[in-house]
Chain A
Amino acid sequence: MKLSNHALLAGLGLCSGLLVDAHAGGGEVFCNGGQEVVEAWRNIPAGGLPWTLNTGPVGSRIAPGFEPISCAYALFPSTQITRLPGAQSVARGYRAWENADDRATGTQMTTIDFEAQPTPEGWNYLQPFFVIPSYWVAFGAEKYDGINMVSYWEPPSTFSGYGGPLAVGMTRVKANLTTGDIEEADIAFNALSNSGGAPYWSFLEENTLMNKTYVSQTADLDGGDPFADPILGYADAEGIAVHEFGHFLGLGHSLVEGKSLPSGGTCPTMFVVGHTEDYSGSAWIPDAITVCGGSATQSIDASIPATGGLVGRNLGTLQTDDNSAIGALYPSTGFTSQMGAISGTVLDGQLAGVPGAHVTAIGVSTPQTNRVGVLSMSGGQFSIEGLRPGDYYLMVEAVDEGKMFIGSDVPNYVEPGSSACVFLLPVFATEFWDVNEDVIETATMTASPITVSAGATLTGKDLKVTGANTLLVQLAGANPNTASSRGIRVVPGAGLNPSIEIRLEEQATLGGQTAYLTIVPERANTLVNGELVQTASTSAVPGFPVTLPLSLDASGKASVTIPITDALAHHAFLVQALVIRPNLTLKVSNTLTVFVERP
């Protein structure tokens, strides 16, 4: 736990409680009446964190076990569950976290340890993981049974309300609302079955007991029995299991997006969007696990190439961000003594803390693979742990909601000066820490390396960002769909003299505050010390960025049109409605990117 952060925040009178630095890629944090509470297992028995594989009867519609994940061989005694086909991939899922180590130094990062337990005698198959709400009512099943169960579910309608048949798996984590202690977690895999329970999981396992090698079943992907077409492709059981066990342990989603890096880094296992490995034509990617007997061809959406292949294969190997995150939650001695940390505060132009900013430490020598990210806390504080000794750049960027699962991945924060929990997305230009950090850069960014040493935390590495004296504020609704959002519409222009028109279409109340509209070209194609660190391209746009007072008419609405005078074909703008802090009374707004196209 970050007692230093705890003390700091408590000293500021903002909140109290159990605190850590991380949201994205780290421990989940929830806001509870003025407290920010991290979720983690804190009551792990001496033998390890118990988990149980559901070895329910074949054909059970409610809670099938793991037998049908392969070619339905005899039921093994529950004490040999890890020898069941499919179960080995699950076991690899948690062992990946047990064995999490720094890939460069070999430092073991965590003390987390699992203990497999047999399915209880006479266990009620109705209990483990009920996700169909109406089933809850119909069967009166208990929601929680104290067993951390991994199940394999059919039919796909099990996932009704949670994505339906598109969901390949799901993890449910129950935590104490006051302490954040995780009390139970369950994982369900979607059978993805359509014809007779045929699964479309991909795995390769050696069963020494039966001296057999199991692979997942095959199907004709192109033609033949239409009901045998696994239009979802294949899902890699091990990769999905590693990702789900990350959630099981309390980790949220990571925003470190390796695949957007110039030469293609690797996304963390806990990256927010599941990736599908590419394939072309009938050839699976080289590292794909062999599927039972079949070539694979699939007609894919021509406009969206490189999808429909092996889902989740890349998730099987933990990346630096994953290793650091699990170490921060359950630190080993080696994590504490051999790894380092950087801490500081994200500050705006008025030196107020900026919460919800994504701060990433980027290894100077291996920027593609050595990246660790966190979100700043309510007071703007951040602490990035689990850094192997060496030089790092420190980058802060605004969260792009479009890269998050919309709605629920951005945590709620404690609103400054109150105990209210609000949903915040600060908006500002990407910035790097440098030795002249007091100077806010608007053109070429510079970055100074920070040297991290083993067992030490470099403090005071504050990041000052421009534009963040303004915050986009949305009320935290009980459900994302209840969140308040005022309809700012951005209308792309057309014709020889294009413009963008911004209309505030819902009535707003400024509450006596000064508010602005700002239109900022997206910063990208950015060189830092000569190195390309952002990929998308943009150019300086004459007349932008522009900030205009937000003047409301008598009806509480506003409209403004800004011409675009240069000849470029496309522009991407970030449009913000802003209110000056510290009074976050204006509840706005949508942040939209608009592409202005010339005919």
Chain B
Amino acid sequence: MQKTSAALTPGLIAIVGFLTLCPVVMLILGSFSGELGAFGAFTLDKYVAAYTDPAFAEILVSTVIFTLGSALVATGLALFLAYLNTRTNIPGKFMFGVISLIPMMVPHILFAVSWVLLLNPSNGMINLFLRQLGLEGAALNIYSLTGMILVEGLLDLPIAYLVIAPAMSAFDVALEESSRVCGASNARTLFRVTLPVLRPAILAALTLVIVRSLASFAVPSVIGMPGRIYVLATHIYSIVATGYAADYGMAAAVGMSALAASITLIVLYRRLTREGEKYVTISSRGYRPSVIDLKGARYPLFAVVALISFVLIVLPILVLFYTSLVPYVMTPGAKAFAAMSWRHWVTVLKDPVSLLALKNSLFLGVGGATLGILLSFFVACVIVKVRTKASGLLESLSFLSFSFPGIVVGIGFMWFFVQTPLYSTIWALLIGYIATYLPYGLRPLTSAFVQIHSHLEESSRVCGGGPLYTMRRIVLPLLVPGIASGWILMATMFVRELSLSVVLSRPGTEVLAVQILRFAEDGLWGRLSALGILMIFISTALVVIADGIAKRLSRRG
């Protein structure tokens, strides 16, 4: 197997290298070119135009405030939750596991939309309710930087939590205990010992959330654009999607700075997580977390956690489902319940574009994830089994795209696909998806490969099983859980994909998230909600089916 894998390496480097480097190279070439058609003639015009635009400074400031703000919100909440989970006797600890799984469940665009439905100044449900109480005008306005930061912060909370919680639970309690013995109070220990020791993890979480919010398109487009607040991602989008003529050269020139910022931040993140190992001490022997008794604060703090879980999971789905049933936005009550009907659902299911989007997204989810996992399988095999310079190169290449903002990758691919017959076909989207989300399939598969001890394969060989027989009866069955979670991750990401699709999707290749964005732009909230619930349903169904098949397969041997 090792020899076959080694032989595969050059081919895989070519495929993965193409997928990750093609958009970058095309972006660079495109930024120095004129229009999509006038490819190749060197010019600096687009850079001059992009960076001398008087609005650009404001966009830059908004981007910095938006990304930093959401990073602070997400990391602060994550610290609070991780501390409660690992260090205190708070009841209902299962909820923390749920919170870290949210990104699987509610697509970002739907989460953002549900907040718009609750808090938009003209007919947000909470605002309508406050008006009924006698408050004049719009009490709360979601279409603001604060609104964007809060929503994005909540969305990125799980990522920050996944970085901070392990560091927090691996923390050597003796450090805290010695501080307590020295006479420091709980609070003093927290601020003088615990937080400083966790600094690398905290900084890593901040950096990761900044990268994510820089790439985020759902929140800036659904919440920012109606309030005329533009960040880099929406600025790029507006250059190619609104106005008289799409200017892909200028979009590429702007995209270059987003890409450069992302890569810098990811390099910083890698350095921080490497440094982290130095600080955080994992003592496997006799590890016993000292639990702080919250006493009277137990249940109030539990209520806070419960509220956060509710806001993250239940509320968006409730709001969407409610909105899909009422004829127009109204506060829940007798009148609303009387007016409920399946009208929006029927409209959506009769709308040819929505149906096409459903079909396309389902195809991209199932087909894309299957192809993506196939590629991930071979790449993971080489990364884990073959330890050469070439496999190291393959590893760096395949995790590179993790740092690329989707919309920028989309612009880069646009420059490429327009030269090929793939332009405006569903295959363009498929290739773009796999290129951008390869790390999602690769991460679970590499860890699955690592977990198969070489003795398990070797003993099959000694028992008389040839290489293929060993692959079929030992390696593949043991990989099934990794394959399943990789497939599920990719499929759910593909079904909801937005930031890449807004650039690559053309008439005929609409996908669900883009169709939802169109509905949002037109204010068709009822149809949007019905389609959104369908989207959540499809994702959930794919997860359940894939999980069921995997369970059945791995039970056999």
Same complex origin of A and B: no
Interface residues of B (CB under 8 A from A): none
